[in-house]
Structure 1
């Protein structure tokens, strides 16, 4: 369980690092990335660590973050 959480957190940091390495991201890109990271973490916590919950949370969070940042 703790290993999955650690892998999820490392993946979130890697995603954030990747987005910042692409130059100056737009506000929409930052919102999408932040939403995906937060949604993935929330999905992981709510689903009890299932991979499907993490991916679903990241997808929903990315869409919400994208729409809010427009």
Structure 2
């Protein structure tokens, strides 16, 4: 589980640095995916499931939600 947290933290930092040249929709997608991955991994760890599966599902769900939110901000 420690490895998942480290990977998610590094990924979030890289995304945060790279967000300066992104549109609001792209920023929403990236940040939503990072937050979703962290939340999914955490929930999976608490419930006794696979952290990687939880992170993957959370990243997809967060990315979709962030994309929709960023799309609305861009308009």
Shorter-chain TM-score category?
0.7 to 0.9
Equivalence for 1:11: 11
Matched length? 67
| TM-score normalized by the length of structure 2 | 0.74
Deviation at residue 19 of structure 1 after TM alignment: 4.6
Equivalence for 1:31: 28
Q: Which has the larger radius of gyration?
A: 2
Root-mean-square deviation (CA, aligned residues, Å) is 1.7
Structure 1 residue ranges (4+ consecutive) displaced by more than 2 angstroms after TM superposition: 11-20
| TM-score normalized by the length of structure 1 | 0.78
Question: Which runs of no fewer than 5 residues in structure 2 stay unpaired?
Answer: none
Equivalence for 1:67: 68
